Amino acid sequence: MTIKIGNAPCSWGVEFAGDPRNPDWRTVLAECKNAGYHGIELGPVGYMPEDPAELGDALAENELELIGGVVFRPFHDPSQWDDVLDGSIRTCKALAAHGADHLVLIDSISPRRAPTAGRPHEAELMGDDEWSGYRDKICRIAQIGTQEYGLTVAIHPHAGGFIDFETETQRLLEETDPAELKLCLDTGHTHYAGFDPVSFMDIHIDRISYMHFKDIDPAVKNRVITERTDFYEACGQGIFCNLGDGETDFPAVRQKLIASGFTGWCTVEQDCDPEGATSPLDDAIANRGYLKSIGFH
């Protein structure tokens, strides 16, 4: 079994490149290394240097491999296509420059869907025409990533976007080419959306190219769903707890991956407030220790 464990800048609270609260990118690289990881994601494009030489030197200095990157942009908004395309191409170029493999597509939080995060039976659905255009935009970026840059592209269901709940995730997988669009399964967001990641793995394990390891505090989850709390406020309230402290059955996840012959990266993503009460380094160390304790070495 060759499963490698990485981390991501969002575990240090980095969600948007221009957020003045973000820690320095060099600090994130150094702390990722010191916490015992050997790989890291790019984070939002523009956060880390887009000069390949500058970032390459820093990765080498910290003995880190660049795993992949996330395009967290409004695929659901036709008027924002230029923004989606810009973020996607810049991310592709950065990943290709460093030999990274994983391009992860996430439909960013929509004002139409944010109020019903965690409540699939209340959520607004797209009509057929809107869905068709939306799906085609995702497919277009997947084609660019695979055909022009040689990347492995995956869709990532995410709270507050239009690829969130189990039914729409399955619909997108059914309507897209497995050769061009894989699945990045996030163990925390699936619970947030009301479905079990382990059961979902039983159905779609052959489509999973990449995993995001995230745990979720069931008490906080139930409260923020009931109170209709904003997603980022929920992160600040600790909805995504340290691995092993929430409801995700990581030993079962590990067994599913081993049984399927999965190889490659699984990345810890503990979305948090950059000015939160806990130390990202302490959390990163604790998460690495937990994963080792259940056999992810």
Please write the tens of the pLDDT for every residue from 35-72: 999 999 999 999 999 999 999 999 999 999 999 999 99
Please write the tens of the pLDDT for every residue from 145-154.
999 999 999 9
Write down the pLDDT at residue 153.
98
Q: Is 185 helix (H, G, I), strand (E, B) or coil?
A: strand
| Interatomic CA distance for residues 44 and 72, integer angstroms | 7
Measured distance CA(86)–CA(213) in Å, rounded = 27
Residue type, 158: H
pLDDT tens-digit readout, 82-97: 999 999 999 999 999 9
- Looking up residue 115, the CATH number of its domain turns out to be 3.20.20.150
* Range(s) of the domain holding residue 267: 3-293
Give me the torsion for CA of 161, 210, 189, 286, rounded to 10°.
Answer: -140
Residue range 195-249, pLDDT digits in tens: 999 999 999 999 999 999 999 999 999 999 999 888 888 888 889 999 999 999 9
- Structurally, the chain folds into a number of domains equal to 1
pLDDT one-digit tens code per residue, 100-130:
999 999 999 999 999 899 999 999 999 999 9
* Contact by Cβ (8 Å): 100, 68: yes
Quick check: 1 pLDDT over 70? Answer: no
